[in-house]
Structure 1
Amino acid sequence: MEESKKVLESFIPVAKSTAKMFGPNCEVVIHDLTNPRCSVMFTVNNHVTGREIGQSFDHLVKTVLRSEDFKDDYLAGYTFVTEDKRTIRSSTSLIRDSKQNVIGAFCINFDVEALNQMQQFMSTFLSTQVEVQKNETKSDDEIENVEGIVDQLIQQIIQNSVHPVMKRHEKIELIRFMDEKGIFLLKGSVEKVASLLGISKVTVYSYLDEIKNKSSEGRIK
């Protein structure tokens, strides 16, 4: 753990210089993925998305790892929309330790709302043609890499949370967290979680159904 901390802290100067170069609309976040439930360990210009130290990752599994363009441990140029409807353009690069285990993520979030407004203004004067390119299919090695990264996340999440007298509601809360983060979107993840928690995959599915039902009831209210 000490080695991981030192490796991640070595990226802090890079985070500061990146934010300084691109200005206040550029947020940089470093995640410690050895502590997935509280992964944010450093931020610069966190007013861009409101990321706070101690929060967890949001887009790592759902957007980054599942993207067909995720290769060589990074995804650049993906976008998401904030709660106040601003478009953020992002890049995420994974950080590995000396044993090639994924221990962190280096994320750059740029508020492009002003640029979008400028583009809309320019589009009234300039005609543009967008060429749609077909995404390449992931190779077997790339799929195996993503599965390995998610396996590490699952193991780290459970390792940091499980204890000998873990109660049912604690297991449900743990599964709810993993569901929110997109862990169960990947094939085989239910079986892996079930095995590490010492429960059946049927139980995991029943917990997921319970979580879904409670969420639906909350929306109805």
Structure 2
Amino acid sequence: MFFTNKELEKYIPIANLIAKTFGKNCEVVIHDLSIPQNSVVYAVNNHVTGRQVGQPFDHLVKQVLLSKNFDGDYTANYKIVTEDNREIKSSTALIRNSKGEVIGALCINYDLDPMKNIKEFLDEFMHVEQEKIENVKPFDNVIQIVDDLIDKIVSNTNIDNLKRKDKVSLIKFMDEKGIFLIKGAIEKVADKLNISKVTVYSYLDDIKKNKNC
């Protein structure tokens, strides 16, 4: 390790700190841009991309300086791909001297490959079925179950003595429980309550309006 610019040596502890903090999958490289053809002057955890002291920079211009995200002397979280097809998340910051001149760059390369299994596990574990519930004709056994539910809901009431508010209350309960999502349920409820289908729809409209108030 040979630093032609001693100011860059000050960044070795920072490079080591970053690598130690984020572990073996995190590579940190220091570039001396006064020697572009041999800009790599320090690398820790260099098994990540195989960077070696004495090598030139690779992505500084195309993915850092020319990036639309380049701001404040750095570009963060751009992707590079290794020769063995591993995805690396990279970030690069320029290093300036006391005169404000760019003298080097600090590059962080994080190997995302070990994270893929974790991501796949989390994606599978967190997946839930978002099924859209519509008014459809269900299987016959479901129809029978819903018919029985309707019978039970109204069986303990004296239909002839039910007031409007009581009927609305029953219909509200059945609506909340999803009874009317079953095709044909409105007609069956209307028949059980001795009211018209239009009346059931009217009650449902009133229930909806009161809910939105």
TM-score when normalising by structure 1: 0.54
Name the CA distance, whole Å, in 2 between partners of 1:5 and 1:22: 27
Paired residue secondary structure (1:123)? helix
Name the CA distance, whole Å, in 1 between partners of 2:4 and 2:91: 22
What is residue 73 of structure 1 aligned with on the other side? 73
Name the CA distance, whole Å, in 2 between partners of 1:95 and 1:116: 32
Name the CA distance, whole Å, in 1 between partners of 2:14 and 2:100: 20
1:111 counterpart = 2:118: no
For 1:88-107, list aligned pairs within 5 A.
88-107=88-107
Paired residue secondary structure (2:14)? helix
Q: Is the 8 A contact 1:4 1:103 kept in 2?
A: no
Displacement of 1:22 in angstroms is 1.0
Bigger relative contact order, structure 1 or 2, given CA contacts below 8 A and separation 6+?
1
Paired residue secondary structure (2:114)? helix
What is residue 32 of structure 1 aligned with on the other side? 32
CA RMSD of aligned residues (A): 1.7
The one-letter code of the counterpart of 1:73 is D
Name the CA distance, whole Å, in 2 between partners of 1:127 and 1:60: 39
The one-letter code of the counterpart of 1:36 is P
Q: Is the 8 A contact 1:4 1:97 kept in 2?
A: no
1:121 counterpart = 2:121: yes
Q: Is the 8 A contact 1:90 1:109 kept in 2?
A: yes
Query: Which runs of 5 or more residues in structure 2 are unaligned?
Result: 129-213
Paired residue secondary structure (1:113)? coil
Name the CA distance, whole Å, in 1 between partners of 2:48 and 2:34: 25
Relative to structure 1, the CA distance from residue 4 to residue 72 in structure 2 (aligned partners, 3 Å threshold; closer, same or farther) is farther
Displacement of 1:127 in angstroms is 4.8
The sequence identity of aligned pairs, in percent, is 56
Relative to structure 1, the CA distance from residue 4 to residue 74 in structure 2 (aligned partners, 3 Å threshold; closer, same or farther) is farther
Displacement of 1:113 in angstroms is 0.8
Relative to structure 1, the CA distance from residue 53 to residue 4 in structure 2 (aligned partners, 3 Å threshold; closer, same or farther) is closer
The one-letter code of the counterpart of 1:22 is F
What is residue 192 of structure 2 aligned with on the other side? none
For 1:1-80, list aligned pairs within 5 A.
5-80=5-80
Query: Which runs of 5 or more residues in structure 1 are unaligned?
Result: 129-221
Name the CA distance, whole Å, in 1 between partners of 2:56 and 2:19: 21
TM-score when normalising by structure 2: 0.56
Name the CA distance, whole Å, in 2 between partners of 1:117 and 1:61: 32
